Amino acid sequence: MLSVTGLKKQYGQFRAVDDVSFELHPGDIMGFIGSNGAGKTTTIKMLATLLEPTHGSASLDGVPLDPNQIEVRKQIGYMPDFFGLYEDIRVWEYLDMFASLYGVPHSERQTVIGEVLELTDLTFKRDAMAQSLSRGMQQRLCLARCLVHDPKLLLLDEPASGLDPRARAELKKLITQLGEMGKIVIVSSHILPELADFSTVVGIIEKGQMLAFGKVEDVVRGLEVQKMISVHVLDRANEASMFLHGKEHVTETNLVGSEQLRFGFTGTPQDQAELLRAMVSAGFQVMEYREETANLEDVFMKVTKGALN
Amino acid sequence: MSSWWGRQKATYFGNATAIKEYRVQLRSTKSAWMLFLYVGILVLVALTSYAAIAGRSGDGSVSMAGFQQSLSGFYFAVLGIITTAILALAPVLAASPIVAEYDRRSMEIVLATPITPKYFLLGKYLGACRQLILLLFLSLPITAVGVAFGGSTWQEFLEQYLSFFLQGALAMAIATIVAVSTKKVATTVFVTYANLFAISMIGSITGITAFFGPSTPTPSGAQIGPFYGLLLPYSGALTVGSVTLVNSIEVPNWIFAIILAALGVKLCLLGAGSVLSKDGAVEIKSLRLHGVVSLAVLSSLFGFLLAPTILGPMTAGIGGSGGPPIAPSGIFFTLAFPMAAAVFFCVSTTSCFGLIDERKTREDGLFNLRRTFTGRPSSGLPYLLVLALAGSIPLWVVWGLYARGDWVVAVIHSVWFFVAVAFYWSCARLLSCGFLTAEAAKKSFTGILALLAFLVPAGLGVLDAAMISWIGSNWVPWSIRYPMIPGVELDLETMKIIVLAILTVGLTYLGERIKRSKRERLGVI
């Protein structure tokens, strides 16, 4: 279990991370969301033991993540938001070097390298030069590097930035697989759709403060994001909008096109069904009447003010 | 014990960074071109020298007599070019892989693994050493020709190659610490050359003086030379085969050269490791302790080994009948100079933090004896004084032995040296408070040191020969010579040292005022 308590990083008066606390369990994949400069990378670097917190602490299965106790790094896989690959080095040599740095015994290294290459679908590139790989493959190689020592905690900082849609999809699949393997994965990003698909837990940070944390559904529910209903009518969308305007529980109406409109709704499901009946009774030919699911983007926009540190 | 051995084995023989360097360093076309160029230049110089010394006449015939006489010249010409090539390439070999780590940002990834900065830097250093050995091997066929035809003996030949390796290894170690600090290859090469030049100058001054002493030939007829001679670029070849007398025992100087080079390399690598380490880390404490011990060792070697070479046996006594022909003060200035230079060299690295960078080190005041080995701002002055003390004690003892037990004079006069150290520390503090970054403060301090220590005294000396002695005794680093002069007029000297102490306090106070007002203006605490 990863336990983070009151983590704080301060440079003079500037608070890069301010009192961040959370807990994650094996198998959790945490989407760590925040604008550029919100404090994601600083938090991740403190968890990777690269930065010493000003206050607070973090522990993995009870072992403190202390920069002065470097042995704990054997339980952590850290992938920054850049590749940092060497020139003139083969894929297997690169992994062999990191396996050695992480203390994997010489006799086990070839087996481990074979396994991580298979997991990241790079077996056929084993003898290729690392620099000759495509961007997506290089990203997978970096992930393979983080896995050679079989860590319990994976810290992935902006892993999908700069990848094409296919590479991004492959990466999502791989991260989901790592969660299923029982690893704790923290994935930071400011691109919300890429996190929405696989995150089981979400943490939203702004100005160094964790504004929301929990399971995605709980966060959405807990923040009481306004329910939006989308209506598709055969004609007279403008009149339908006027009809809805002023009705009980309807907060705002927006025309999306000549046949479609959206409106905010605060009532119960019964009230929602009653409103549909009223529309039909008023002669509107309703083709579609559905509640839009609140997503991470809605949550993010609601809880943050867009302010940077 | 077994786990300690396992760690050492993993660090020195199974070092993953070194293995990676071994694998990749000869793959690039750049490396191939470098080796090709190196061998090409060596062959070209060898052929040119050969043609010149072989005494070819106009019709192309060769004078064998002339050839034999000039063979030694050919040998030394080749040695000169190898020295140049090694010293030109060594800093680049050491700095390039480190700077490349910064450029591609892979340093952070490597340091996120469970290894120490020492492990990482040692790997890089071992990789560079392997290339250095390769360069030396490639030159073997050319130099071996000189030996095979009688230009030198095989023993001298081996000692010469050891000298090449130690000089290259020292240059690479200096380049490592500079590369870690500056993150630029060109700057690293330039600063390394400047350091090598300074070492050569200091070494030559002390070494040349040593030869002026009343040394007698050893019973075996071996040449007595400065014990560090093999480490000096270019003049190293002249001290090949020389020995140092230690209690009438002839100790080959290559043994001292290995010890000194190992100390120097260790200090440089520890220094580089401490740059990469966090505030108060074990590496910083280790570096500082090693610094104190190394300076004491260096000072002892200079005092106990060179003084008898120059002044004769210690029991003779200075000023007594049959005393040495050279003024003892000058000799002691010579002996103390490397030690004093080392202390002044450390002023900027221990005391220049910069306004912004200082807050990252959790600034903790101006002086704290308990934090002497932590690397924090309050440790600057205590550490410099501890260094000065460690370097001075062996010289006090040597002085005492020559001056028939009059150690007190040396101790009292050394106070001046300590005040001079404090004065330069206050200059460094003032700059540290005036500039935002450590780099800017350090550069400015180096400039001021050069100005105060060399340019001002030299300029004043040109105007008035008497003035340099008055000015110089107070603030130039070589004021260390005064503590060793017996019979100096204490009243005048005491007054001058009081002025320097007042200046020290004033500059320190001014620095703190500047720091406070600048921080208020910039809005940082």
Q: Are A26 and A182 in contact (CB under 8 A)?
A: yes
Contact predicate B301/B256, CB 8 Å:
yes
Output the tens digit of pLDDT for each of chain B's 525 residues.
668 888 888 888 889 999 999 998 888 888 888 888 888 888 888 788 777 766 555 555 556 666 666 677 777 778 888 888 888 899 999 999 999 999 999 999 999 999 989 899 999 999 999 999 999 999 988 888 777 776 678 888 899 999 999 999 999 999 999 999 888 888 888 888 888 888 877 777 665 555 544 445 667 777 777 888 888 887 777 788 888 888 778 899 999 999 999 999 999 999 999 888 876 678 889 999 999 999 999 889 888 887 777 666 665 555 444 444 344 455 566 677 778 888 888 998 888 888 877 766 566 788 998 888 988 889 999 999 999 999 988 888 887 777 666 666 667 667 777 888 898 899 999 999 988 888 889 889 988 887 776 666 555 555 555 544 544 444 444 444 444 344 455 555 667 677 888 999 999 999 999 988 887 777 654
Contact at CB, B116 and A70, closer than 8 angstroms: yes
Residue with tokens 């309050």: B378
Look at residues A39, A79, A48 and name the one whose alpha carbon lies nearest to residue A159. Answer: A79
Q: Is the dihedral of CA B20, B21, B23, B24 positive or negative?
A: positive
User: Can you give the pLDDT at residue B476?
Assistant: 46
> Tens of pLDDT along A28-86?
999 998 888 889 999 999 999 998 888 999 999 999 998 888 899 999 999 998 888 99
The H helix count followed by the E strand count for chain A is 10, 14
Helix B438-450 to helix B328-351 angle (10° resolution) is 160
Residue B290 touches partner A, C-beta closer than 8 Å: no
CA-wise closest residue to A183 among A32, A75, A23: A75
Amino acid at B213: G
Provide the β-strand partners of residue A215.
A201
Whole-Å CA distances, B427 to B386, B420, B436, B452: 19, 11, 16, 11
Residue A212 pairs with which residues in a beta bridge? A204
Q: Beta-strand (E) ranges in B362-480?
A: none
User: Could you state, in order of their start, the residue ranges of all structural domains in chain A?
Assistant: 2-222, 227-293
User: Which of A143, A141, A163 has its CA nearest to residue A154?
Assistant: A143
> What would the mean pLDDT of A251-267 be, rounded to a whole number?
85
B325 touching chain A per CB within 8 A: no
> Best residue in A100, A109, A150 to probe B by mutation, most B CBs within 10 Å?
A100
Q: Which of B109, B282, B436 to mutate to test the interface with A (most CBs of A within 10 A)?
A: B109
3-state secondary structure of A18: strand
Please give the pLDDT value at position B212: 47
A227-293 shares the fold of A2-222: no
The DSSP letter of residue A268 is -
pLDDT of residue B316: 52
Whether A84 sits inside 8 A of B105 (CB atoms) is yes
Residues of A in contact with B524 (CB under 8 A): 12-13
CB-based burial of residue A152 (10 Å sphere; 0-12 exposed, 13-18 middle, 19+ buried)? middle
Asked whether the beta carbons of B135 and B85 are under 8 A apart, the reply is: yes
Q: What's the helix, strand, coil split of chain A in %, to 5?
A: 35, 30, 35
Report the Cα B339 to chain-centroid distance in Å: 10
With CB atoms and an 8 Å threshold, state whether B19 touches A87.
no
Quote the minimal CA–CA distance from B165 to chain A in Å.
Answer: 28
Does the beta-carbon distance from B24 to A68 stay under 8 Å?
Answer: no
The CATH label, of 3.40.50.620, 3.40.50.300, 3.40.190.10, 3.40.605.10, for the domain at A2-222 is 3.40.50.300
Helix/strand/coil for B489: coil
Compare CB distances from B114 to A87, A93, A102 and report the shortest one's residue.
Answer: A102
- Specify the pLDDT at position A22: 94
CATH class of A227-293: alpha beta
Residue B403, C-beta contacts closer than 8 angstroms, at least 6 positions apart: B317, B318, B319, B409, B410, B486
The DSSP bridge partners found for residue A229 are A263, A291
Report the candidate in B366, B390, B387 with the shortest Cα–Cα distance to residue B376. Answer: B366
What's the rounded mean pLDDT across residues A150-166? 88
Domain boundaries, chain B: 1-54+64-215+229-238, 306-525
Cα–Cα distance for residue pair B123/B12, rounded to 1 Å: 8
- Token pair listed for B176: 């490592």
The number of beta carbons lying within 10 Å of the beta carbon of residue B81 is 19
Single out the residue of A300, A220, A214, A223 nearest to residue A25, CA to CA. Answer: A214
Contact A13 B524 (CB under 8 A): yes
Q: Is residue B373 a contact partner of residue B379, using CB atoms and an 8 Å limit? A: yes
Closest CA to A304 of A296, A218, A194, A81: A296
* Closest chain A residue by Cα to residue B123: A101
Query: Coil, helix or strand for A100?
Result: helix
> Please, which residues bridge with residue A206 across strands?
A209
In chain B, DSSP finds a helix count (H) and a strand count (E) of 19, 2
